[in-house]
Chains A and B, each alone.
Chain A
Amino acid sequence: MTVLAAVAVVALSSCKKDKKETAPAAAEVTTSGILADLAVNVNAATYVKLASTSAELYTQTVALSSTPSAFNLQMCQQLWRSARESWEQSEGFLYGPVATDLIDPRIDTWPVDFNALEGELASTNEFTQTYLNGLDDALKGFHPIEYLLFGQNGNKTFDQFTAREKEYLVALAFNLRTLTADLAEEWNISNSTSFMASFRAPGTSNPYYETKRAVYEEIVNAMAGICDEVANGKIGEPFLANDATLEESPYSSNSMTDFTNNMKSVQNVYKGKFTADGTGIEDLVKKHNLSLHNTITAKITAAISSLNNITDPFGTAITSQPVQVTAAMAAINDLRTTLEDELLPFVQQYVVD
């Protein structure tokens, strides 16, 4: 019955909507303008930042390798966190080349395969990029780098690095730099054959998206998708199993920051803003349904502050702060429900071509 009622309401309003559209638009908010802005200001900008911080991380690992020092290690750790911030802020749009070119699994697989990692370190295999490309995903990307930089218990010191660890670290950082640069290139606006070009110009001959509505659905589904993953995967799995070994970024104790950046990713997509600000989905929502806009904004804020309420490191918080963890899962799932059940139908109603 509820579904039928929803159908009826949407049906009525969609029949009326045609009239509305013939009236002159008050604001300069257009569905194609939002797409164009979003692709540049959020997707591309986030990936550019990810690529540039990854490149800096590589440079710094070279410095750490040649001149081990507390400062150089700290710089590497800080840059790892910065690159990680951009990556987590990109997880609200995990569609396109990041998925189809298998970049996500190659840079963000966990858990780390310790046996294999220790084996590689104990071997004499040369860590060329060809060799690295042939390694399993669990031996590449952010988390093996994290393990090498922070150590099993997060207390690694610069004088503990073996020669093999330094070689492996530098090679891993180089690999991360290459893959994130490839990703940024796929969202380069001046590259006419990039995924970006298809994303911004849906049409019948577009291999990916026939309509703007399909792109909007993609965007909203990805926003809801990361909420699902954070609430029910990244937080829910270790919490429900009461098992800290399921934590994603344990060595750096960066998990809470990761989760918060995932929520900021949703916020960035909604606002259409990473650093530069243009039009965003929020402008379309504000134009047609201010109440929905207020709901979404409030729920994003609630999700972020619910994560801030977890004050212990995540691996500890799953046992020490169950109330706060449960509340965070609930707040993020609540946001997800709004995105799925209200924002998705909204874009389907207002993005008509």
Chain B
Amino acid sequence: MYTLKYYICFALTLSLIGCKKPGKLEEMQEKDWYAGGTQTVFSSGSGAFGAAFNGLSGTEMFVHGVGDLAFESTFVSAPAPKNSGLGPIFNSVSCVSCHIGDGRGKAPEPGEPMISLLFRLSVPGQDAHGGPLDVPGYGGQLQQRAVFGSQAEGNVNISYAYATYTFPDGTTYQMRTPSYTLTNLYAALPGGVMISPRVAPPVFGLGLLEAIPDANILAREDVNDANGDGISGKANWVWNVLAHQKTLGKFGWKAGNPTVMQQTASAYLQDMGITTFLFPKESSYDQPQYDNLLDDVELSDSLLYAVSFYMKTLAVPARRNVQNADVQKGKQLFESAKCSACHTPGQRTGVNVAFKQVSNQLIFPYTDLLLHDMGPELSDNRPDFAADGAEWRTPPLWGIGLTEIVNGHSNFLHDGRARTLTEAIMWHGGEGTVSREAFRNMSAADRAALLKFLKSL
């Protein structure tokens, strides 16, 4: 756990610049280092996603620390003196067991245990709020584990089909397509069940993303592609439990959650079987696994708040090698291949006097937070509020180059099928087709430069 204060580390980077007098261009490039604005941490090690914001007050730092410990707490079955209430059905026992190092999960290789990948379920139709319709007897997610004496809902077997392709310059690359088989189901599944695999995403920088004004996000919306650029960003409007109305969806692979806190509470409920004031009913309610215990809510309001605050106040790692010539070339290629049409580099957060650390910051998350059609190959064919089966929220790219050191792998996309950044790019279809084709037709050196740019994020 790394609740460190890193502001002294700025000294080093600045010292390099300090020897030269910066010109105007260099000043602009200098901004590029600060992916999270003033909430940027100069760390490129395994703790890079886990550093606290700068300038937190003593109280705020305390709440961040409480949230940090709660994020790592392992839940156990009820009744227990501490961390009671796991399950009865669940996917995981703690936040950190999926978001290792506050980072990215990984799809298992065939036969490996399912650790940081889960499966959302629904049947055709919409619930009362326009969201996915629960599967009778299963709810909205397949819980693959259960506490002792209770029955898990089922398991998933993963297999991959491999195919080799060749770039025009002769370089080969391999892609793998996952397929899933549900096994050991505890009850018959109704027909037409839709399944959506989801890998745990990194959890840093969420306070900054939440601070981007809705108006800024909506300004980029272009549902019918009126400007004819082939890109039609679409907002997701999702049920906000606290506001009791639909608000803009910002979090999750399909932007299915409006706030960090609701995303967190939903993960507590669905992934761990822990009830909160936002979702006080067990995920197993109305199912034979339901424990009939009068112990809900199982996580106190203050802890839910603290865990949300912890994630909101995780700083963003600074970019590396910004001044490297290849990286700069790669950045130009990223623009010219139109990757930046959806992976919008810069965003400006709104003014917020109540949360000054995220107020009015120029940040570089590389996302527009909108939904885009990614083509049939990546489609999960499962709608989620306004998102149709082929639409996914543009995931932020900040910190992507540190995945390997933080998480020990470089697997990407919602189901973790891509094993390298190259594969991830080559899976882009739909609105991403033009960019993918541009990448395909680049020289090997240009492709390498683009990848080097991505690794500098």
Known: A105-B97, A210-B320. A100 touches B8 (CB 8 A): no
> Across the two chains, which residue of chain A brings its CB closest to B147?
A116
List of A residues within 8 angstroms of B7 by Cβ: 3
Q: Of B1, B78, B80, B321, which is within 8 A of A228 by CB?
A: B1
Q: In the complex the two chains form, what is the Cα distance from A288 to B224 in whole Å?
A: 64
List of B residues within 8 angstroms of A237 by Cβ: 69
Mask of A26-49 contacts with B, CB within 8 angstroms, 1/0: 000000000000000000000000
> Across the two chains, which residue of chain B brings its CB closest to A227?
B4
Q: In the complex the two chains form, what is the Cα distance from A64 to B101 in whole Å?
A: 38
Q: In the complex the two chains form, what is the Cα distance from A133 to B115 in whole Å?
A: 12
> Across the two chains, which residue of chain A brings its CB closest to B407?
A100
Shortest beta-carbon distance from A77 to chain B in Å: 24
List of B residues within 8 angstroms of A120 by Cβ: 148
Shortest beta-carbon distance from B76 to chain A in Å: 4
Total count of chain A residues near the partner, CB < 8 A: 58
List of A residues within 8 angstroms of B63 by Cβ: none
Is A99's CB under 8 angstroms from B148's CB? no
Q: A70 within 8 Å of B by Cβ?
A: no
Shortest beta-carbon distance from A232 to chain B in Å: 6
Q: Of B16, B113, B145, B405, which is within 8 A of A14 by CB?
A: B16
Q: A96 within 8 Å of B by Cβ?
A: yes
Is B83's CB under 8 angstroms from A111's CB? yes
Is B4's CB under 8 angstroms from A15's CB? no
Shortest beta-carbon distance from B199 to chain A in Å: 15
Shortest beta-carbon distance from B441 to chain A in Å: 25
Is B2's CB under 8 angstroms from A225's CB? yes
Known: A115-B80, A115-B148, A232-B65. A217 touches B43 (CB 8 A): yes
Known: A101-B408, A137-B74, A208-B404. A115 touches B65 (CB 8 A): no
Q: In the complex the two chains form, what is the Cα distance from A229 to B96 in whole Å?
A: 15
Residue in B15, B115, B406 whose Cβ sees the most chain A Cβ within 10 Å: B15
Main secondary structure of the interface of A (DSSP, over half): helix
Q: B247 within 8 Å of A by Cβ?
A: no
Mask of B383-412 contacts with A, CB within 8 angstroms, 1/0: 000000000000000000000111111100
Is A96's CB under 8 angstroms from B46's CB? yes
Q: Of B12, B69, B145, B149, which is within 8 A of A119 by CB?
A: B149
> Across the two chains, which residue of chain B brings its CB closest to A218?
B45
Is A138's CB under 8 angstroms from B46's CB? no
- 4 new A-B pairs (CB below 8 Å) besides A96-B46, A116-B147? A112-B76, A207-B410, A233-B69, A340-B6
Q: Give B residues with C-beta under 8 Å from A.
A: 1-12, 14-16, 18-19, 43-47, 65, 69, 74, 76-83, 86, 93, 96-97, 100-101, 113, 115, 145, 147-149, 320-321, 404-410
Q: Give A residues with C-beta under 8 Å from B.
A: 3, 6-8, 10-12, 14-15, 95-97, 99-102, 105, 109-116, 119-120, 123, 133-134, 136-138, 207-210, 214, 217-218, 221-222, 224-225, 228-229, 232-233, 237, 243, 245-246, 340-341, 344-345, 348-349
Q: What 3 pairs between A and B have smallest CB-CB spacing?
A: A100-B408, A11-B18, A119-B148
A–B Cβ pairs within 8 angstroms, 21 of them: A8-B18, A11-B15, A11-B19, A14-B18, A95-B46, A99-B46, A99-B408, A100-B46, A101-B408, A111-B74, A113-B76, A116-B147, A209-B45, A221-B4, A222-B47, A245-B81, A245-B82, A340-B6, A348-B9, A348-B11, A349-B15
